[in-house]
């Protein structure tokens, strides 16, 4: 017997906000750990960076699949990805010098 209790918009909004905050804490926490390992220990942490990137990709693909994005959002996301790629390439070249 499955007794499903319908939830109102307020509860759903709170759940979504809590999930968003949890994602932000995990993502920025992982980025802080990666920065510490890189600067203090000199170790690379590609596995942790991969988790942060994978989390963003999954969220983006879900939004795109549900068609919950506007044209402006797509333009901003593409622009952000291009800028991030340029910064990554410049950082890679700077670290070799």
* Residue spans per domain, the chain: 7-66, 70-97
Give helix 9-36 / helix 46-65 axis angle, nearest 10°.
150
Residue 2 pLDDT: 64
Nearest-angstrom CA–CA distance, 34 and 17: 26
Mean per-residue pLDDT of the chain: 86
Judge whether residue 14 has pLDDT over 70.
yes
| pTM, entire model | 0.65
Q: Which of 15-19, 41-45, 80-84 has the lowest mean pLDDT?
A: 41-45
pLDDT number for residue 13: 85
* Inter-residue contact 30 to 48 (CB < 8 Å): yes
Angle, vertex CA 89, rays to CA 85 and CA 93, nearest 5: 170
Check pLDDT > 60 for residue 1.
Answer: no
pLDDT tens for each residue of 30-53: 889 988 988 888 888 888 888 888
In whole angstroms, give the CA distance from residue 20 to residue 64.
Answer: 18
| 28: nearest Cα among 58, 48, 14, 57 | 48
Ordered alpha helix ranges (H), the chain:
9-36, 46-65, 71-96
């Amino acid at each position: 017997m499955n007794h499903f209790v319908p939830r109102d918009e307020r509860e759903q909004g709170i759940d979504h906000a809590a999930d968003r905050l949890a994602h932000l804490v995990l993502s920025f926490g992982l980025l802080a750990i990666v920065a510490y390992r890189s600067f203090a220990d000199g170790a690379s942490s590609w596995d942790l960076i991969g988790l942060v990137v994978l989390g963003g990709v999954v969220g983006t693909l879900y939004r795109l699949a549900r068609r919950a994005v506007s044209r402006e959002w797509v333009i901003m996301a593409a622009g952000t990805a291009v800028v991030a790629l340029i910064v990554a390439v410049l950082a890679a070249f700077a670290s070799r010098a």
